[in-house]
Amino acid sequence: MICHTFIFVQSLIFQYMKYILSIDLGTTSMKAVLFNEKLIAVANVKVDYNTDFPAPGWAEQNVDQWWAALKSAVRQLLSTESAPDPAQIAIIAIDAMTPTIIPVDRSGKALRKAIIWMDRRSEVECRMIGDSLGDNLFKISGNHNDPSNFSPKMRWVKENEPDIYRRADKFLFANAYLVYRLTGLFSMDQTQCGLSQLCNTLEGEWSDVLITGSGLDKVKLPPIYKSTDIVGSVSSTAASQLGLSTDTGVIAGAMDNVAAGMGAGIMRDRDLYISAGTATNVSLCTVNPHFDPSFHIYHHIVPDRWIHTAGVDYGGAGYKWFAKLIAEDDYASLDERADAVAVGKRPLIFLPYMVGQRAPLWNSHTRGVLFGMDPSMSDGELARAFMEGNAYGIRKILELTRQLGIFPENGRLTGGCSESRVYSQIFADVLGIDILRVGEMDTAPLGIAMAGAWAAGFFDDFESMAEMVSIRDVHTPDKSKHKYYTASYKLFDTLYGRLEPVFKELNALSQQEEES
């Protein structure tokens, strides 16, 4: 009765509240956007923060940076001329990088830095969990046992920081941590179930079999909500710190990749989406779930829809890394030099796997490889190779969708790479499908705002919101270039296959150097 009364009162309040505050907690920055009830952005801001790399394969962030970023973002948004009164903000909706874990005590205080998604320290714990659960892990979760995931990270804390594990009341995902700071309530959203490795993913609930088999304690896990569920309202403490209203609701939110797909209008059966940012994620929406070892599987924000994902974990970042290496900060100029290269004249293949890879390769030891260099090669040729290598990584994933009986004819593209006409055309030429650049560069803030708009009752269905997503450009494959890239891709695939066992030897060699 209390829950229904809360929802009824909240719905009455929402009649007078016409805005959504959308928060995208990314790897390098937080993006905050104010949307009105028609999902038109009225103000936006970005706040950067840092990542710590205390040891090879480790990646951590101080969660105080996130809260400071949120305070800064809200202050800037509410100080703009177009800003509404805080009392008019109906919903706060948060998506975040994943899987990231934060152990917190009963008061919600973080007990250590967050271990973020790219951290791969928990290989030993992965083996322990795999030995304990065997086939049950994949049968129940539908996801691969991987060091990046939530369960191995949590087990690492238990094994290596037992005092923190003992003191921890809950282990939270990144968006759930901010939900807690806003509401004082612990939560986890359903899209995170797959990468937790602790859920019956089809049911969207914790699995006692997986939790016990992973050597963990269920009491340390928060309740699970649907993405659009209102966890609670902004607490008086958070309201005073941020300048917000205690009448504003906060939904459970979602992982960034699912939110980005929603913002790209991906919700129909067999819709394909490519998010080419720091990591390049390839996501396929289906009506029916498919458990396949080459893919992650998540709940969509949209009910009765599923997202199947694989990616190139440093795909988009590789090009940015190269530009920084040659001290080139004019990406348009570098793009032009890459575009001037005669395709196929001097084949150069780049394996874009500069950091350990999750789906579909499941290899913690990969590193980047340039194959075919000679002393006369220009920076334009190298730049193009970085672009092509990322596209080959995507093609590898599309070849694997054939295992699901799905042959995409086009794909929607967003992220930093989509801002480059040259990069987008290379994707089309390598993949052999039309590439549709959607209207929003950063679709995650829009996608999670859609979840908030539905929760607030601004829209009655998700279809009408998806139809609002515009297509700004279409890149059609060049047939002759696609023919060359098809042959080149085969060499790319062969090259990785030959080097796969050698990556492990390279890693062992680096460990010997550290020990000496």
The residues spanned by each domain of the chain are: 2-257, 315-396+478-515
pLDDT value, residue 16: 67
CATH architecture of the domain with range 315-396+478-515: 2-Layer Sandwich (3.30)
Query: In angstroms, rounded to a whole number, what is the distance separating the alpha carbons of residues 446 and 102?
Result: 26
366 touches 384 (CB < 8 A): no
DSSP 190: G
pLDDT value, residue 242: 97
Query: In angstroms, rounded to a whole number, what is the distance separating the alpha carbons of residues 498 and 508?
Result: 18
**Residue 226, φ and ψ in degrees, nearest 5:** -70, 155
Q: Check for a shared fold between 2-257 and 315-396+478-515.
A: yes
**Helix 421-431 × helix 479-515 angle, to 10°:** 100
CATH architecture of the domain with range 2-257: 2-Layer Sandwich (3.30)
The predicted-structure confidence for 345-372, as pLDDT tens digits, reads as follows 999 999 999 988 989 999 989 999 999 9
Q: Rounded to two decimals, what is the model's pTM?
A: 0.89
Helices (H), 93-161: 123-133, 136-141, 150-160
Strands 410-414 vs 434-438: parallel, antiparallel or unpaired? parallel
308 touches 283 (CB < 8 A): yes
Tokens of 366: 């990969």
pLDDT value, residue 5: 46
Query: In angstroms, rounded to a whole number, what is the distance separating the alpha carbons of residues 55 and 121?
Result: 9
pLDDT value, residue 442: 81
Residues of the chain with pLDDT under 70: 1-16, 440-441, 511-516
DSSP 198: S
Query: In angstroms, rounded to a whole number, what is the distance separating the alpha carbons of residues 352 and 370?
Result: 9
23 touches 70 (CB < 8 A): yes
Where do we find the tokens 């791969």? 120
Q: Report how far apart, in Å, the C-alpha atoms of 332 and of each of 328, 383, 400, 413 are.
A: 10, 12, 33, 19
pLDDT value, residue 387: 98
Query: In angstroms, rounded to a whole number, what is the distance separating the alpha carbons of residues 146 and 123?
Result: 8
